[in-house]
Amino acid sequence: MTIKKDKFKELYIETQSFVRASVFWLAPTLDRDQLDDIVQETYLKSWRNFDQFKGSSHFKTWIYAIGKNTTIDYLKKNSPKNFIVFDDTETTRNEDLEMLDLIDKGIMSLEIKLREVFILFYKLELSIKEIQEVLSLKEGTVKSRLHSARKEFENFLNSQEIEEGVEL
C-alpha cells in the first residue's frame, strides 16, 4: 500500500497542475472551491482504479479523461446552467460570457470539441502527439480541429475589434 501510495503521490505531483488547468479551462466559470472539489475527486477516482492502470498508457492521458468526465458529472449535478458549456450544439450563455474578458470569451465561444484541442495546444502547450494520446484521436483529426479552432478564435477577435475598437 505504501509503495502504491508513494507512486501515486509522485504521479500527483507530476500531473496536478495539468489536471487543474485542464479542468479550469473546460469550465472557467467554476469558483476556486468547486475547482478544488473536482481536482480532488479526479484523483480519488483514479486511486480507486489505480490497479487497473497499465503503465503502457501515459498517466497524464488517463487522468485527463477522468478529470474531464468528473467535470462534466459535477456540472450536471451541481449547476445545470453551466452544463451548457459542454453542449456541442450551443456555445455559451451570455451571462457566463459576461464574467470573462475578451480572450476568455473567445475561448468559450468555441464548441467543446474545438475548445479542448485549442486549450491543450495553446494554453497547456501539449504537442500534437500528446493531444492525440490524451483525446484518443488521429493526428489528422487533431490538426483539422486545431485549424478550425484557431480560425474561429481569430474571427471572434476580429469581430470584437471591429465592434468594440479593442486593440490586441
Partner 1 sequence: MNDNNLRTLLKNHSKSVPQASPYEWQKINQRIDELESRSSILDLIKHPILTRLTLAFTLTAVILFSSQNFGSRNQENLEEYLFSDSYFESIEENQTYAWID
Summarize as ranges the residues that interact with partner 1 (CB under 8 A). 1, 5, 8-9, 12-13, 16-17, 20-21, 24-25, 28, 32, 35-36, 39-40, 43-44, 47-48, 100-104, 107, 122-123, 125, 150, 153-154, 168
**CA distance linking residue 107 with residue 6, whole number of Å:** 37
How many residues does the structure list for the chain? 168
Least CB distance to partner 1 at residue 82 (A):
16
Least CB distance to partner 1 at residue 155 (A):
11
Q: Which three cell numbers stand for residue 99?
A: 464574467
Least CB distance to partner 1 at residue 11 (A):
11
Q: Which is nearer to partner 1, 48 or 76 (CB)?
A: 48
Which amino acid appears at position 44 of this protein? L
Q: Which is nearer to partner 1, 136 or 147 (CB)?
A: 147
Q: Which is nearer to partner 1, 69 or 136 (CB)?
A: 69
The whole-angstrom distance between residue 101's C-alpha and the CA centroid of its chain comes to: 18
Q: Is 126 helix (H, G, I), strand (E, B) or coil?
A: coil
**CA distance linking residue 116 with residue 114, whole number of Å:** 5
Least CB distance to partner 1 at residue 157 (A):
9
Q: Which is nearer to partner 1, 138 or 166 (CB)?
A: 166
Q: Which is nearer to partner 1, 17 or 144 (CB)?
A: 17
Residue closest to 44 by CA, chosen among 14, 12, 2: 12
Hey, what's the torsion of the CAs at 113, 117, 118, 121, to 10 degrees?
180
Q: Which three cell numbers stand for residue 108?
A: 468559450
Least CB distance to partner 1 at residue 14 (A):
12
